[in-house]
Copies of this chain bind each other. A is one copy, B any other.
């Protein structure tokens, strides 16, 4: 509503385009590398600023998953994720309906929750393969 105006700069457009091309869920640094192919002078700070802005505008998702490094997702349709504990990679799976879960607990009375999701951790096929050594 009181949104500050946002300009479609070359940098922002290319960042969004590159993110849309992949179905991996790149980190800011990975996006930086991808975009640098098109805009060699772009800086990492700009990538961070734009990813955050795009996420605020709901054009992309800033993934709320455990793990050290934040990841971004151009797919804004409702869906769920699985995450590899070994390499940190995140994969898409169909949306998991959480509406029938039995949420209880005293503190939920005072806790205004707006986001309930399922997190699934494991080992991806690639890492399982590598561990056979």
Contacts and interface: CB of A to CB of B under 8 A. Distances in A.
Contacts of A34: none
A88 B10 CA distance: 35
B119 A107 contact: no
Report the interface size class on chain A: 35 or more
A111 B124 contact: yes
Nearest to A115: B121
A42 interface: no
- Is chain A's interface secondary structure helix, strand, loop, or mixed overall? mixed
A124 B108 CA distance: 9
A113 B107 contact: no
A77 interface: no
A22 interface: no
A39 interface: no
B108 A104 contact: no
A114 B104 contact: no
B103 A64 contact: no
Interface of A: 63-66, 80, 82, 84-85, 91-94, 96-98, 100-105, 107-108, 110-125, 128
